[in-house]
Chain A
Amino acid sequence: METIGFLLDGIFTSLQWFNLALLIFGCLIGLFVGAMPGLGSVNGVAILIPITFIIPPTAAIIFLAAVYYGAMYGGAISSVMLGIPGASTAVATVFDGRPLAVKGEAMTALTAAAVGSFVGGTVSVILFTLFAPPLAEVALRFNAPETFALMVMAFATFVGLGGDDVPKTIFSILIGLALSTIGLDLITGKPRLIFFNIPGFLHGINFLVLAIGIYGIGEMLWTLEETKGKVQMSKLSVNMKEVGRAFGALKKTIMAMNIGSFLGFFVGILPAAGATPASLMSYGITKQLSKNSKEFGSGVPAGVVAPECANNSASTGSMLPMLTLGIPGSPTTAILLGGMILWGLTPGPLLFTQEPEFVWGLIGSLYIANFFTLVLNIALIPAFLMVLRIPFAILAPVIFVLCVTGGYAPTQSLHDVWLMLLFGFAGYILRKLDYPVAPAVLSIVLGPLAEKALRQSLILSDGSMGIFFDMSEKPIAAVIMYIAIVLLIMPAFGPLYRRLFKKKQPA
Chain B
Amino acid sequence: MSIIKKLALVVVSLSLVAVSSVSSAKPFSPKKPVELIIPAGQGGGADEIARLVQGVIEKNDYASKPVIPINKSGGSGGEAMTYVKKKAGDEHTLIITLNNVLTTPVNQPELGIDFFNDFTPLARLITDTFLVWIATEGKNTAGVETFDDFIDLAKGNGLVMGGTGSMSEDELLLGMMRGQFGFDAKYVPYSGGGAVAKGLVGGESDFTLNNPSEQMGFYQSGDSKALVMMTPERNPAFPEVPSSYELGYPDLEYYMMRAFMAPAGIDAEVEKYYTGLLHTVYHDDEFQTFNIDDGKLMSWLEGYGLKDFLAIEYEKHGEIIKNFN
Contacts and interface: CB of A to CB of B under 8 A. Distances in A.
Nearest to B49: A338
A202 interface: yes
A460 B186 contact: yes
Interface stretch (A148-156, A343-351, A382-390, A489-497): A343-351
A203 interface: yes
A327 B198 contact: yes
Contact of B217 (A203, A326, A459): A326
Size class of the B contact interface (CB-based, 8 Å): 35 or more
B74 A331 contact: no
A141 interface: yes
Contacts of B192: 327-328
Contact of B55 (A50, A452, A456, A459): A50
Interface of A: 42, 46, 49-50, 52-54, 140-144, 183-191, 197, 199-204, 271-272, 321, 325-328, 331, 333-335, 337-339, 341-342, 344, 346-351, 411-412, 452, 456, 459-460
Contacts of B54: 49-50
Contact of A342 (B48, B70, B220): B48
A506 B197 CA distance: 59
B75 A199 contact: yes
A470 B191 CA distance: 25
A42 B51 CA distance: 14
B74 A185 contact: no
Contacts of A190: 166
B48 A459 contact: no
Contacts of A411: 72
B190 A456 contact: yes
Contacts of B171: 189
A342 B73 contact: no
Interface of B: 41-43, 47-48, 51-52, 54-56, 58-59, 66, 69-70, 72-76, 78-79, 82-83, 107-108, 110-111, 160, 165-168, 171, 186-192, 194-195, 197-199, 201-204, 213-214, 216-218, 220-221, 223, 290, 293-294
B195 A338 contact: no
A347 B78 CA distance: 30
Given A349-B218, A452-B191, A189 B48 contact: no
17 contacts: A140-B202, A190-B166, A191-B110, A197-B110, A199-B74, A202-B75, A203-B72, A271-B195, A327-B192, A327-B194, A338-B47, A338-B48, A341-B294, A342-B48, A342-B55, A342-B290, A348-B221
Contacts of A191: 75, 78, 108, 110
A326 B186 CA distance: 24
Given A143-B199, A326-B197, A459-B188, A199 B59 contact: no
B306 to A, nearest CB: 26
Given A202-B75, A327-B195, A411-B72, A42 B189 contact: no
B58 A53 contact: yes
Contact of B160 (A49, A187, A327, A460): A460
